[in-house]
């Protein structure tokens, strides 16, 4: 599933086609994806202007001049494909309709935005803009890890007295929003903390390392266009490249890349997810 860097990369790719433009026509080609689409979604989107395009956790939010916000979740294999406008230095012509093109937005600037989702685990919904934070997919989310509300004192408070493994705690969207399996593995390796450690055992010095490491890893991944493992593509169809910088994720059995460490990357399962780490330098 795309994590924060992938979703942020897609949002940035959508900006030239969507922000400040009007949806001249919305095509909705099925009743829903993971959940049913809202009633009359095509009619509610057609003619709406996109005032702003932002991200909350792993969701893209398009604030419309109809006082509604379009919520987009990519799910496991969802792609937002842009054609007809220039993204960076690239221009892509409109492509023939594909089998899994479920929602198509024809924009006033000549661009076309297509939501393609082969596995149909993605989602779209509409909510009143002034109450979008209370939507069932967004309510209760923790602070953004790249925002000012995420800091050492907050993490210390949310870790205090808990026995939860640090890997599970950082994946808890109520503690911090947007972190996923890949980047938590990379962060914990960077700071030398085992994913099995209880958060209540992590001291202030280690928390002081965790917060900037989270920001650094996410920022580096965004700069690289995210990580492409299976289905993920940027809005212009290009792959992300951060997977080439992985130190531990997916590297079971390989030598640890931490300087002066002679350990080997191992894998354990935590809450049904694979955790990759070096038992020698991550304590």
Catalytic residues, which ones? Answer: 2-3, 58, 273
Tell me which H or E stretch contains 159: helix 152-159
DSSP 8-state symbol, 49: B
Instruction: Give per-residue burial for 219-255: e unless 16+ CB within 10 Å, then b.
Output: eebbebbbbbeebbbbbbeeebebbeebbbbebeeee
Sign, Cα dihedral of 193, 194, 199, 203:
negative
What CA–CA distance (Å, rounded) separates 221 from 215? 10
Q: Which of 59, 57, 279, 282 is nearest to 187 (CA)?
A: 282
């Amino acid at each position: 599933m795309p994590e924060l860097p992938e979703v942020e990369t897609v949002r940035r790719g959508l900006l030239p086609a969507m922000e400040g433009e009007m949806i001249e026509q919305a095509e909705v080609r099925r009743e829903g994806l993971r959940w049913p689409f809202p009633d009359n979604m095509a009619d509610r989107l057609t003619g709406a202007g996109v005032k702003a395009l932002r991200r909350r956790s792993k969701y893209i939010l398009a604030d419309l001049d109809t006082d509604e916000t379009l919520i987009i979740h990519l799910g496991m294999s969802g792609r937002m494909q842009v054609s007809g406008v220039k993204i960076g230095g690239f221009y892509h012509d409109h492509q023939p309709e594909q089998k899994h093109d479920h929602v198509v937005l024809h924009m006033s600037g000549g661009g076309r935005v297509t939501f393609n989702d082969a596995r149909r685990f993605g989602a779209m919904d509409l909510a009143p803009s002034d109450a979008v934070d209370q939507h069932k997919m967004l309510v209760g989310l923790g602070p953004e890890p790249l925002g000012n509300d995420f800091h050492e004192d907050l993490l210390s408070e949310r870790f205090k007295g808990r026995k939860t493994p640090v890997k599970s705690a950082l994946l808890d969207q109520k503690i911090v929003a947007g972190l996923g399996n890949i980047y938590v593995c990379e962060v914990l390796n960077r700071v030398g903390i085992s994913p099995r450690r209880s958060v209540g055992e992590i001291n202030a010095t280690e928390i002081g390392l965790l917060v900037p490491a989270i920001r650094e890893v996410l920022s580096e991944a965004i700069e690289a266009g995210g990580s492409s493992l299976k289905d993920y593509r940027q809005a212009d169809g290009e792959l992300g490249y951060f997977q080439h910088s992985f130190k531990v994720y997916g590297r079971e059995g390989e030598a640890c890349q931490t300087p002066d460490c002679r350990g080997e990357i191992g894998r354990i399962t935590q809450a049904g997810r694979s955790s990759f780490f070096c038992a020698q330098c991550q304590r």
